[in-house]
Amino acid sequence: MALIRELVQKTLKTGYLTIEAEEQLRQLLTTRYDLEDLNAFMALQEAAMTGKVKQESRERFQYTAVEQFT
């Protein structure tokens, strides 16, 4: 089973959080995890908030929203 920190490392390396990885993170966060995984997840959240990581889900949502208003 993948660890949260492994997914985070891959995401930070690529700079892109796919919808699949986001769903996998959701699943992993419902199970027991350690402090290292929690710290990695918080680092991912910060990277997303500061724009260092782009989220596929947000890009799709923004694209869909723009289409609705044009």
Distances (CA, A) of 50 to 30, 42, 53, 55: 25, 12, 8, 12
Instruction: Report which of residues 20 and 68 the model is more confident about.
Output: 20
Per-residue pLDDT reduced to its tens digit, 51-68? 999 999 988 766 565 666
Split at pLDDT 50, 70, 90, the class of 2 is confident
Q: Where are the domains of the chain?
A: 4-68
State what percent of residues in the chain have pLDDT above 90. Answer: 79
Name the pTM for this structure: 0.81
